[in-house]
Chains A and B, each alone.
Chain A
Amino acid sequence: MSIILGILEEGLIYAILALGVYITYSILDFPDLSVDSTFPMGAAVTAALLLAGVPSPAALGISFVCGVLAGIVTGLIHVKLKVVDLLSGIIVMTGLYSINLAIAGGANLAFFGQDTIFENGLTAPLLSSPAGDFTVTIISFVVVMAVKLLLDAYLKTRSGYLLRAAGDNDTLVTSLAKDKGTVKIIGLALANGLVALSGSVYCQKQGFFEISTGTGSIVIGLASVIIGTKLFKRASFLKTTTAVIIGSILYKACIAAAMAIGIFKTSYMKFVTAALFLIILVISNQSKKKGAA
């Protein structure tokens, strides 16, 4: 039971990150590597704020805003300074590393005992109830659903339409008399905001910030998006955002299963992830070819 809860908790929290990656990678067609640093940025900001006595929901909001700013920087570097998309992300990822250290005042910052979105006066009765073990899962689920519904709603607005068009056919954006650069910046801002939000939720669950938590976030995000979107491609009753969330949970389940069965040593885990990743990509490419023929 606890392993399933563990998977759900991790999967749901990382689903917020995956939704951010979905915006950049799938909608905007922008391989944004800055995610590896915006995720820990959300955590660093949250740790620093909670220790300063800021209420946990506010920490979520401020983390989101910080992520938005980071996304804007990536966007400006790409659009205004005309740096290739991949490199813009790498530049921001590298620079943010130091900024994250500065925000947290070090590589590790613990805030055990502070009120978080999971542990506070309101959740105390729930925590002490028999359903206490489900608290983190329930709260994560609520946050993820809120993010998902808001994102779904946004993608149906005029601005959301433009964002979808920008990834699909940016000539059309220009034809609609809109600056495609601005649209990209908005997309990156939103995506990195979600990634930082995910980092904030993750860190509130953990009780500490650690600079290394960002390592490989982009891979987790991409894997979740690809698993979700490719596995459920034909399941038209599912919204893509829902598929991405399920993808994130499936990804975490794969890792947990591999670990529980004890087939793989954790040191092989990255290799396993890479293999899984590649195979899903290859299969989806093959089916794409068939579809085209």
Chain B
Amino acid sequence: MMKKTIAALMITAMTATAMTACGGNSGQTSTSAAPETTAAETDAAAGDTQAASDSGATALADGEYTIGIGQFAVHGSLDNCREGFLQGLAEAGIVEGENLTVLYENANTDGGMGTQIISNFMSKDVDLICAIATPMAQTAYGATKRADVPVIYTAVTDPVLAMLATEDRMPVGNITGTSDKLPVEEQLQMIREILPDAKTIGILYSTSEVNSQATLEEYKAAAPEFGFEIVETGVSGAADIPLATDNLLEKVDCLNNLTDNTVVSSLPMILDKANKKGIPVFGSEVEQVKIGCLASMGLDYIELGKQTGHMAAQVLTGQAQASELPFEIIEQASFYGNTAVAENLGITLPEELTSSAAEMFDSITN
């Protein structure tokens, strides 16, 4: 009986291996060309990284490094962070496949899995852990407290609230990184410029995402200054979004989208509903503008990732200690607009915004 059971366990393991092998191209996480969540994106990342090293713009840094990247969820923005992070490292001469080995794991929003991912990294003696999104950063901090592994996080909206940093932006331990705090005031200013007569802004957010709640509070605090009223609707899951959107669209002059994972996943559907009513939807980062938000004074997660990568490079090469680096935020918000969307809505984007735009899109990517 015992033997049979063990045999069966082995078979399970082998079956699963076989299936993984069929599903993905290679099961090996380590040293593969790039993380493989979305093939297209990561290929691009690898290309960029490669380009950076090929062009010889920067010489390779000394030493061989192994880092573990733990990402909390599969999500466009977070994937961009990771991509940017590797680019940032490459710019500093730490190039994946050359002098850098990258272990990448995704927790798929399972907190318990996050812990095991970090402990796996620790057992493999990584030189640095890159934690993407708040829960992953907290897990990494808790796990590395007693070990000498620096942690660099990104896409943590409020490191102070997450207790990863003190009020003066200084780390609480051997952990630092970048915040993806949204430029709330700039965004409100932009909405005011584009829609001079608008009074109410609708915001959809999911109650399970701490970042969204924090950002929402900021919007509510800042809105009166720009003459807006915020109407928010919380959802507890993707299934609530269609009804919540219909309901919200009845009450508002425009919608403003946060970086809420759940809501962003349903963005195409929200855009569709809003377009039918001729209500503009503002985004919070470049990807959202690409797929049909009117405009955004927001973040470029690739840039954020790069900035994070630079910090990681400093720590890896010993130029700085993670515990001494204050966390960083992207100081300047950049304007992204989509002229195709503007045309559909019969809105003209003001000249002063478009002239200083970081990027303008003239089509809607699906």
A and B touch in the complex (CB under 8 A): yes
When distances are taken between beta carbons in the complex, the residues of chain A under 8 Å from B9 are 276, 279-280
When distances are taken between beta carbons in the complex, the residues of chain A under 8 Å from B124 are 260
B135 touches A252 (CB 8 A): no
The total of chain A residues at the interface (CB under 8 A) is 60
**Interface presence of A263 (CB below 8 A):** yes
Contact with A271, one of B2, B19, B208 (Cβ below 8 angstroms): B19
Interfacial residues of chain B within 9-26, with CB under 8 A of chain A in the complex: 9, 11-13, 15-17, 19-20, 23-24
Contact with B163, one of A110, A210, A287 (Cβ below 8 angstroms): A110
How distant is A277 from chain B, measured CB to nearest CB, in Å? 9
When distances are taken between beta carbons in the complex, the residues of chain B under 8 Å from A252 are 116
When distances are taken between beta carbons in the complex, the residues of chain B under 8 Å from A211 are 208
A265 touches B120 (CB 8 A): no
**Interface presence of A53 (CB below 8 A):** no
**Interface presence of A79 (CB below 8 A):** no
B163 touches A215 (CB 8 A): no
Q: What is the bound-complex CA distance between A108 and B208, given in angstroms?
A: 8
Q: Which residue of B lies closest to A213 (CB)?
A: B111
Q: What is the bound-complex CA distance between A233 and B4, given in angstroms?
A: 13
| Mask of A215-252 contacts with B, CB within 8 angstroms, 1/0 | 11100100000000011011000000000000000001
A205 touches B142 (CB 8 A): yes
How distant is B335 from chain A, measured CB to nearest CB, in Å? 30
When distances are taken between beta carbons in the complex, the residues of chain B under 8 Å from A146 are none
When distances are taken between beta carbons in the complex, the residues of chain B under 8 Å from A231 are 2, 5
How distant is B350 from chain A, measured CB to nearest CB, in Å? 36
**A2-10, A61-69, A170-178 - the one binding chain B:** A2-10
How distant is A35 from chain B, measured CB to nearest CB, in Å? 13
When distances are taken between beta carbons in the complex, the residues of chain B under 8 Å from A113 are 163, 172
A234 touches B16 (CB 8 A): no
How distant is A134 from chain B, measured CB to nearest CB, in Å? 11
Q: What is the bound-complex CA distance between A283 and B1, given in angstroms?
A: 9
Contact with B123, one of A2, A133, A210, A213 (Cβ below 8 angstroms): A2
How distant is A224 from chain B, measured CB to nearest CB, in Å? 12
**B102-110, B190-198, B281-289, B301-309 - the one binding chain A:** B102-110
Q: Which residue of A lies closest to B107 (CB)?
A: A266
When distances are taken between beta carbons in the complex, the residues of chain A under 8 Å from B174 are none
Binding site for A on B (CB under 8 A): 1-2, 4-5, 8-9, 11-13, 15-17, 19-20, 23-24, 27-30, 36-37, 74, 105-113, 115-117, 119-120, 122-124, 134-135, 138-139, 141-142, 145-147, 161-164, 172, 207-210, 213-214, 236
